[in-house]
Amino acid sequence: MVQKEVGIIKHQISQLRPVEVTTDSSVFVVTHSLHLTMIDGKIGGILTGNNVEQVNLSDILSSIDQKDVIYLEGHENRVSVLAWFSKKCLLASSGFDGTVRVWTYDCKPQLCLEHTFVFHESMNVYGTELQGKLIGHIKWSPTGDYIAAAMENIINIWPVSMSNEETDGCKEWFIDDQHEFVTCMTWPKYKHEDVNKKDYLLVGRIDGTVSLISVYRGNKEVETLINCSLSHAVVKIDWHHEDELFAIAFIDGTIKLGRICQNSDIITVKAHDNAIIALKWDFRGTLLATASVDMTCKVWQEQQGKLQMLHSFVQPHEPVSLEWSPLIEETNTPLLLAIGRHGSENG
């Protein structure tokens, strides 16, 4: 079973689109955000503004005024993943050249290269020796103090920009061998503003195990969360606040919910009949949306220690993604859920 799931996930990786954009605002409801495309190691098509009409993203460069386009050159090979950190106007990019680049936007119509982090497979294998190998995941910590990247079973964590006082004892970056292929990882989106607290990175692996990496002032601890693991590959993880429930989705359609302080109190539900391909908490951390290749999208809420299904939307075509809108003022329906399908998008 594990070998079959490995084959499925590797096929999915081989079918990756040229760019995966990770942002903390909806990619379907397009306002007050950056729009990016990637071309052979360049970051292109950076568009700002509020009056963006619906466009075909595959042809976005021909749809906008060239004066609104900025090209960023730095990577020496294809770029595959972007991660935008709005609180500090930072953009991280990675791909196939063994580096993670951090660009600063600073609310001006241009970006400048601020950091280049060289990915290490080990202390002896790094940088140009990794040309052609995919850095498939990059994630910002909730305060932007750390950025994590994963290549196959190896995770690198770097401190990014802290004050001199905070960086005392925090200058160490980390290499962590997860021993199994990393399929997904996430920090919580929010944490308490306490510089003395640890930062937590949740990691899902292809063998179905889940680990928790704790980072604090130059120290790293790794714990395998046995009660959160299964014998099926982990495919998606989402986490709204470090004190709240994290959600873990598995390739067999199962979801597990847990907290870092209550690892023994785990909620498990068979949410879908087939593989889950999208998992997302809303902007309040209250509703959980899931989508599956079983042609359904469902909305869930934790109630009295159980995960209860509130809505189920049957799709005419296989869903491939979903996003919650930001909160829409104080209304009876403050949220929109966008479902991306093969060949179309639903709202």
Type of residue found at 292: S
* The pair of three-digit structure tokens given for residue 266, joined into one six-digit string: 């785990």
Residue range 99-154, pLDDT digits in tens: 999 998 765 667 788 899 999 999 999 988 999 999 999 999 999 999 999 999 99
Residue range 252-295, pLDDT digits in tens: 999 999 998 755 689 999 999 999 999 999 999 999 999 999 99
Q: Where in the chain is the domain with CATH 2.130.10.10?
A: 2-270
Q: Rounded to an integer, what distance in angstroms lies between the CA atom of residue 53 and that of residue 113?
A: 29
**Looking at the whole model, is its pTM more than 0.85?**
no
CA dihedral of 87, 203, 133, 142, whole degrees rounded to 10: 10
Residue range 88-101, pLDDT digits in tens: 889 999 989 999 99
Among 293, 335, 300, 337, which residue's Cα sits nearest to residue 314?
293
CA dihedral of 169, 175, 176, 182, whole degrees rounded to 10: 130
Residues 6+ apart with CB under 8 A from 256: 228, 230, 247, 248, 250, 266, 267, 268
What is the homologous superfamily of the domain 2-270 according to CATH? YVTN repeat-like/Quinoprotein amine dehydrogenase (2.130.10.10)
Q: Across the strands, what pairs with 248?
A: 237, 256
